[in-house]
Amino acid sequence: MHTAIVKAFKKYHLFGFTGTPIFSANAGSAGNPVLRTTEQAFGEKLHTYTIVDAITDKNVLPFRIDYVNTIKLPPGVTDKQVSAIDTESALLSATRVRQVVEYTLEHFDKKTKRAEYYAVAGKRLRGFNALFATASITAARTYYREFADQQKDLSEAQRLKVGLIYSYAANEAVADGILEEEEFETQALSSDARTFLEGAIQDYNAMFGMNFSTSADKFQDYYKDLSLRVKNRELDLVIVVNMFLTGFDATTLNTLWVDKNLRAHGLVQAFSRTNRILNSVKTYGNIVSFRDLEEQTNDAIALFGNKNAGGIVRGGCPGLG
């Protein structure tokens, strides 16, 4: 867009507004080398209003972060090294996935405040809803199956309503904790990934009496309908890879369960899905991280706020059974 504007107009002024500017510290290596940072694209900054300012001014909520110890590693090996060692076998092992889902189901009501009632647009709602962010399409599918399996013997009233969404362009080409802009491309998905997504959409159709699919036009309609049902708190949990982690606002959403690496602006964008102000019942944006993201969180706050801004988050380190 920047290139198109500059090419189309001889005289112009460009003003950029962003909550997560790109600095040299968090710039990628792709794209135009002279437009990789916000300052390169728009010039010297005119004003700064950081996430720390917004939280201090009570325009958004602070975060409450739990780092959950999910896997015992060999001595001298850190959680950050797991992906380089053997991501699929270590972090997607059947035992670990089962424990993560058990933990999520056990703590879901408390985190989303299901004991609390409030009214939105004339509707009486019970608690909030959540996103579950995964590291890959394979992981998203694995977790969707596990949630279904662990809830299969529950009554309909007891089961969480779980949705799933992913696409090729929005998810499969992303690395190192930076989130790309989401697209609606399903044609490039592998055959089994698309077939699985089709099945999940059919589950959704059965749940709400709809008729969506992975075809280009119907998938966009599915995304819109899913978004609306999250905002209206008709869905309890949506499993995602990158979709919904940038640019999506739902005031009824208060919790992000994280099993993926995040950093810099990708981390701030994802966490910020939870901290939109709604009412006196919603006091924090809850983050439950099954990865060790404490250092990345501190670095991101220092980059986009200030290095002494630890007060905008509260954390803990519970473990799994």
| Residue segments in the chain with a per-residue pLDDT below the cut of 70 | 1, 18-41, 70-89, 168-184, 306-321
End-to-end CA distance of the chain: 50
Check residue 137 and give its pLDDT.
Answer: 92
Check residue 121 and give its pLDDT.
Answer: 83
Q: Which domains does the chain have, with CATH numbers?
A: 2-42 (no CATH), 55-316 (3.40.50.300)
Check residue 230 and give its pLDDT.
Answer: 97
Identity of the residue numbered 67: Y
Check residue 23 and give its pLDDT.
Answer: 59
Check residue 233 and give its pLDDT.
Answer: 95
Neighbours of 45 (CB within 10 A): 10
- Residue 232's contacts (CB-CB under 8 Å, 6 or more residues apart) are 123, 252
Check residue 304 and give its pLDDT.
Answer: 75
Distances (CA, A) of 130 to 162, 217, 321: 10, 26, 22
Helix H or strand E segment including 40: helix 38-42
